[in-house]
């Protein structure tokens, strides 16, 4: 667990949130929320460092945090799932230590349940994406992950419109994050293929494919493509698909 220096950053909206809460007499509430968010992110950081990944930045927003990590898209699925649950583990410990404080426990449970939603970029969506990759190719798993996220966001938005949730700021942030991921999908897909072409990752399974389409590539699986009565490696097929016609 070397290189423990972590670049923390507090977003400008968080400062505005603290000032507004102070003026409105809710400063203690905002401190509770920030502490819970901080502990949550420490849960992610603990496992990120445990698996020796590099943390690029941790940004704190009024109602959550985003941790950017330098790790391959082909990282082991189980590690991805554990990292996504790290915040829940630490919040659970926090709950056991503070359950007598009703207000703090209420915020803790609310943030915990909110992060379980399968909406990009919440932890529930990260866990779902990793879980889907256990069964489907990267491209198909990403597509399902996007569809579930969009539907879940739509239901969350309707809840706020018709049932008085009034979390429109959070809805706006979620909408923007979903938009960015959808827009960057071609980048993620090409990066996934390029990693498979450049590096050797540990594989648990071997699959023989009777198609020329590299979209069948799946995490933790080494693929061989059957063509012209012979098998060719996935690296060769990636080269043909990405570079041959350029």
pLDDT at 1 over 80: no
Tell me the Ramachandran region of residue 135: left when phi exceeds 0, alpha when psi lies from -120 to 50, beta otherwise: alpha
Give the pLDDT confidence of 96-144 residue by residue, as tens digits: 888 788 888 999 999 999 999 999 999 999 999 999 999 999 999 999 9
Give the pLDDT confidence of 211-220 residue by residue, as tens digits: 889 999 999 9
pLDDT score of 6 = 67
Terminal C-alpha separation, the chain = 42
pTM, rounded to two decimals:
0.87
Compute the distance between CA of residue 53 and CA of residue 36 in angstroms, rounded to an integer.
23
Q: Taking the mean position of all CA atoms in its chain, how far away is CA 99?
A: 28
Compute the distance between CA of residue 57 and CA of residue 75 in angstroms, rounded to an integer.
19
Q: For the residues 22-39, what does the mean pLDDT come to?
A: 87
CB half-sphere exposure, 173, CA atoms < 13 A? 14
pLDDT band with cut points at 50, 70 and 90 for residue 241:
confident
Give the pLDDT confidence of 40-69 residue by residue, as tens digits: 999 999 999 999 999 988 888 877 788 889
């Amino acid at each position: 667990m070397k290189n423990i220096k972590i670049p923390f950053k507090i977003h400008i909206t968080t400062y505005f949130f603290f000032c507004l809460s102070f003026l409105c007499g809710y400063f203690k509430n905002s401190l509770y929320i920030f502490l819970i968010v901080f502990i949550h992110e420490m849960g992610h950081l603990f496992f990120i460092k445990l698996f020796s990944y590099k943390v690029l930045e941790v940004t704190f927003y009024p109602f959550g945090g985003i941790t950017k990590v330098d790790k391959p898209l082909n990282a082991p699925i189980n590690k991805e799932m554990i990292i996504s649950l790290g915040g829940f583990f630490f919040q659970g410990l926090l709950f056991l230590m503070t359950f007598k404080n009703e207000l703090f426990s209420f915020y803790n449970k609310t943030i915990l349940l909110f992060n379980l939603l399968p909406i990009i970029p919440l932890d529930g969506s990260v866990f779902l994406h990793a879980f889907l990759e256990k069964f489907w190719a990267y491209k198909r798993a990403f597509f399902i992950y996007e569809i579930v996220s969009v539907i879940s966001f739509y239901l969350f938005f309707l809840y706020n419109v018709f049932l008085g949730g009034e979390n429109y700021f959070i809805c706006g942030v979620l909408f923007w994050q979903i938009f960015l991921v959808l827009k960057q999908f071609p980048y993620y897909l090409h990066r996934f293929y390029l990693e498979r072409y450049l590096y050797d990752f540990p594989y648990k399974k071997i699959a023989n494919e009777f198609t020329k389409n590299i979209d069948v590539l799946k995490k933790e699986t080494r693929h061989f493509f059957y063509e012209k009565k012979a098998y060719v490696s996935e690296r060769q097929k990636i080269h043909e698909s990405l570079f041959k016609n350029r």
